[in-house]
Structure 1
Amino acid sequence: MSNPKLVVFDLDYTLWAFWVQGVDPPFHKDKSTGDTAGANQLLSLYNLDQYISFKQIYPGSKVTHFKRLQADSGVPFTDMMFFDDEQRNITDVSSLGVHCVLVHHGVATKLVNEELQHFLKKRCLTASQPDRTSDGH
């Protein structure tokens, strides 16, 4: 069994402990700068860009975003993992077949490693289930 092909992290209250909308470092209000520009700037300031090979920052519906991610990347939903701090997003994106993780106190290496193990276990269980579609059931 393989690891997820695409791991997605929500930004606000997941990768960092604040909400970036409407603020830019040095964190003053600036209505002329969009959320996406501020988020990109923070990813760079936190040196997180080095870990990102496929980046999309999409304000709005997480379901719409994941459909766009799937179309742009070609990765099936079942090969994706998503970390977010909001239960409504976890519920919505889970319905697509994405392995979702509710983050309570920010993302940490331990949490990511534990969830990679859960992802693999879920994969193994699914693979060991008999294929009911091939035998007419």
Structure 2
Amino acid sequence: MQFFLCFLFTLVFSASKLFETDAQFCPRKNPDGESTMTEETKPGLIVFDLDYTLWPFWVDTHVSPPFTLKSNGKVFDSTGDQVKYYPEVPAVLQQLHNEGYKLGIASRTGSIEDGKELMKLFDWKKYFEFSEIYPGKKTNHFSRFHEKSKLPYSEMLFFDDEHRNIVDVSKLGVTCILVENGVTKKVLQEGLEAFAKNKRKGNC
């Protein structure tokens, strides 16, 4: 009997440690089944590229300034074509803003003012605390983020559509996500979970 009680106690204790481990290493789920980040695994800064990440074009070649914001809220270029962003981007930016994340833009376009103007017309500037828009390697942009935010690179999450940028910036210790068809809620969630996984590895 004593042996059985000892065995039962060991079994219960082991199970409790297993669940404790699961709670520590698995992303929490909200009632809708989506993962949510704890404060310890949230990025200190989330950075987005512009071209083919937030909008489906190269701002320096595929659209023609000046741009006009119509009364219906739509933006058009000088040829009369509507300038569109990826459909889920406004909701993604609003979600991150509501949840208190710091956001940044890292673009290597040569059309600096056009990029800034579209962000203004799309009413996105209110979401971004940091903005680095100019030609050059993205590592230069992140060096400025590091300097301005005082955050280590390991606290940053980056979304970009170009593999070369992902390779360069990841070497700094930034968690990087290759975007293939624009930023969506699903892509965002995958990025947050990848960051949390890397953060937990770094704490081991």
**Which TM-score band (shorter chain)?**
0.7 to 0.9
**TM-score (norm: length of structure 1):** 0.82
CA RMSD of aligned residues (A): 1.8
2:138 to 62, 75, 80: 62
Which structure: larger Rg? Answer: 2
Q: Which 5+ residue runs of structure 1 have no aligned equivalent?
A: 129-137
The percent identity for this pair of structures is 44
Q: How does 1:78-97 map to 2 (within 5 A)?
A: 78-97=154-173
- In the TM superposition, 1:40-79 aligns within 5 A as 40-79=116-155
Aligned to 2:59: 20
State how far apart, in whole Å, the 2-side matches of 1:46 and 1:113 are. 23
Between the aligned partners of 2:174 and 2:58, the Cα distance in structure 1 is: 24
The CA deviation string for residues 53-75 of structure 1, in whole angstroms up to 9 with x for no partner, is: 22222322111111122112211
Tell me the residue number matched to 1:106.
182
Q: Secondary structure at the match of 2:118?
A: helix
Distance 2:129 2:141 in 1: 17
Normalising to structure 2: TM-score of the pair?
Answer: 0.56
| Residue in structure 2 matched with residue 6 of structure 1 by the alignment | 45
**Cα distance in 2 for residues equivalent to 1:47 and 1:109:** 19
For CA contacts below 8 A with separation 6 or more, give which structure has more relative contact order. Answer: 1
Following TM superposition, the consecutive aligned residue runs of length 4 or more in structure 1 with deviations greater than 4 angstroms are: none
Report the alpha carbon displacement of residue 28 of structure 1 after superposing the two structures with TM: 4.3
| Structure 1 residue 50, shift from structure 2 partner | 2.5
The counterpart of 1:35, out of the listed 111, 120, 143, is 111
Secondary structure of 1:113's counterpart equals helix
